[in-house]
Chain A
Amino acid sequence: MKPLLILPILLPLGFAALSLFFLHMRRVQRLLSVVGMTSLLVAALFLLQFVWRQGIGVVQIGDWPAPFGISLVADLFSAIMIVLAALMGLSVSIYSLADIDAPREGAGYHPLLHFLLMGVCGAFLTGDIFNLYVWFEVMLMASFALMALGGRRLQLEGSVKYVILSLIASSLFLSAVGILYGLTGTLNMADLVGRLSASPVHLVNTLAVLFLIAFGIKSALFPLFFWLPASYHTPPVPVSALFAGLLTKVGIYALIRVFTLLFNQEAGYTHSLILIVSGLTMITGILGAVAQNDFRRILSFNIISHSGYMIMGLGLFTPLALAGSVFYIIHHIIVITTLFLVSGVVRRLQGSLQLPEMGGLYAQAPWLSLIFLVAAFSLAGVPPLSGFWGKLILVQASLSAENYLIAATALMVGLLTLYSMSIVWGKAFWGTPPDGKAPVRILTIRESVPYYLPMAVLVLLTIGISVAAGPVLTLSTRTADQLLDPTAYVRAVLGEKP
């Protein structure tokens, strides 16, 4: 079991290092990339199965005992996130075979993809708050390079905004870690549980808000989301698909981890704040989406809006609500990545992603339209697709917590999502292209396979979650129970206390 826990970090590291040697051999690069991601997915699935059967797994790096060394901890939440990360990594690496040009591949696109996955998996696995910071930086470094790689004007501009805001968020995160160490004298999250409850409440609350701001920037919550729609539409489509699916979710993961494990003493204060933020995030995000004209910008604003749903469960802080959050994360990562991948094919077919310049996609590519339709309906929460179940659980949880305002917000935002998706459908898929447009491109079979394979798999997965919502909910419920009861986590890391 011990190698299993560390494989999600080692595999991407190994494949990234290997492919650095073959930068000028395109075929070897591509082969290594797909093989690496596949092996990561297999390892992740085994890890999930292990954690499901035998409970939380722990490895002490370098054999240093728990509060002193760095612990890697895999509970159900971590394992689920790693499986999703690996799945997105594999989809994007296959999609990239068709969509990434030779100069970018020569400049190290594939190794960077693996470094990014290493950072993401490390952040999901670590049980040490400073180590979490380090993995965040690994992930950021790779994402900066991917964002700027081979870029012209627009892409470089987007990168500058993204880099500055990310660096400021990291600074806040690191300051919070420093003060946390000064307050408690430990950085191991399991060890922190006991020590924080013995610390003065006002200091703990201050720290909690500092962490909320730092992770809030990373996960693009209200009012700190402005960097996301300014940058996510600029890099190549596979890159923005991966960022959309994974990066903000790492922020959400960190929020959920920190606010279930460490800062749960004053839930009346901190978690109400999160709930308010979640409602405002949903509303502002979707209002932004409705006002946009660029396909990927609409999707970017939808990411923001739906991050609100994911932390809504955290804000309500009941077992059902948290299960809803976990369910929603699983659903959202798959669906939003699919939609971004669709936008890449659309750009190839129409030569643009500006809605006024588009039209007639339904006649041009019926299968693509079907994929878009399923994913968009799922995002909006049309029954019986996966988004519907996620929203249903969250709304039910808020009703039973007698929080009617947030329930109404969630329902209304779902409706507005449908509206924003129908704008895209109406302008890009229906209608006729404007006159005087350059002739559209036709994809060859060779190009189509890497484009359509990942999208088809992800859409089938969405449908699978919709049909098998029961088992996924069972998984989410068990995850939520594990999150809400930190004693098992603490015991797994520190061992039995005398």
Chain B
Amino acid sequence: MNVLLAIVTGGLFGAGVFMLLRRNPFRLIVGLALLANAINLLIFTAAGLTRARPPLIPTGAEIPPENMADPLPQALILTAIVISFGLLAFTIVLFSRTFETLKVNDFAEMKERDE
């Protein structure tokens, strides 16, 4: 399972970087989203996997069951999702404004207007 997830994480990173290198702004946003998901999966895999033991204390019990999943990476991922959600929303607004104002749809055309 670890190996499989490692391959998936690597694939997501690769796809994300590939999209980041495109000249189209929309693809860049897709790339950022893929990268964010790759990192979440990375945190999840690196912190260790357990099968079917959610970190919840059953009703009536005082202590959590043995060998339950580590709740911290889940909290980290949740925070990271929230942050990347906010950042992506902002980036989309910024890009749509910018490329509407510049009337281009390509990063290469932006460079010419630098000065």
Contact = CB atoms under 8 A, between A and B. Distances in A.
Chain A contact residues (Cβ within 8 angstroms of B): what range? 20 to 34
Contacts of B80: 174
Nearest to B45: A182
B90 A157 contact: no
Interface in B36-53: 36, 39, 42-43, 45-48
B39 A157 contact: no
Nearest to A131: B79
B94 A144 contact: yes
A163 B94 contact: yes
Interface in B12-68: 20, 25, 28, 32, 35-36, 39, 42-43, 45-48
Interface string A170-202: 110011011101110001000000000000000
Contacts of A130: 76, 79
A156 B98 contact: yes
B1 to A, nearest CB: 15
Contact of A157 (B20, B36, B76, B114): B114
B91 to A, nearest CB: 6
B76 A156 contact: no
Contacts of A175: 39, 42
A160 B29 CA distance: 12
A156 B90 contact: no
A156 B76 CA distance: 32
A160 B94 contact: yes
B91 A157 contact: no
Contact of B46 (A156, A163, A181): A181
What is the predominant secondary structure among interface residues of chain B facing chain A? helix
Contacts of B36: 171
B32 A153 contact: no
Nearest to A167: B32
Contact of A137 (B28, B73, B83, B98): B83
Which of A141, A148, A181 gathers the greatest number of chain B CB atoms within 10 Å? A181
B94 A157 contact: no
A181 B73 CA distance: 8
Contacts of A170: 87
A164 interface: yes
A429 B83 CA distance: 46
A134 B79 contact: yes
Contact of B39 (A148, A152, A164, A174): A174
Contacts, number: 81
Given A141-B86, A171-B36, A171-B39, A156 B47 contact: no
B7 interface: no
Contacts of B102: 153, 156-157
Contacts of A144: 90, 94
Interface in B88-105: 90-91, 94-95, 97-98, 101-102
Contact of B101 (A140, A156, A164, A230): A156
A32 B100 CA distance: 35
A181 B28 contact: no
Which of A168, A178, A179 gathers the greatest number of chain B CB atoms within 10 Å? A178
B113 A178 contact: no
Interface string A118-139: 0000000000001000100100
A156 B20 contact: no
B72 interface: yes
Which of A141, A160, A177 gathers the greatest number of chain B CB atoms within 10 Å? A160
A148 B46 contact: no
Interface string A85-112: 0000000000000000000000000000
A144 B25 CA distance: 17
Interface string A441-471: 0000000000000000000000000000000
16 contacts: A137-B83, A137-B87, A152-B101, A153-B113, A156-B94, A156-B98, A156-B102, A157-B114, A159-B94, A160-B95, A160-B110, A170-B87, A171-B39, A174-B39, A178-B43, A181-B72
CB-CB nearest 9 A-B residue pairs:
A182-B46, A178-B43, A156-B98, A137-B83, A178-B42, A174-B39, A171-B35, A178-B46, A182-B47
Given A160-B94, A160-B110, 10 more contacts: A134-B83, A137-B87, A141-B86, A141-B87, A148-B94, A164-B20, A178-B73, A178-B76, A182-B43, A182-B47
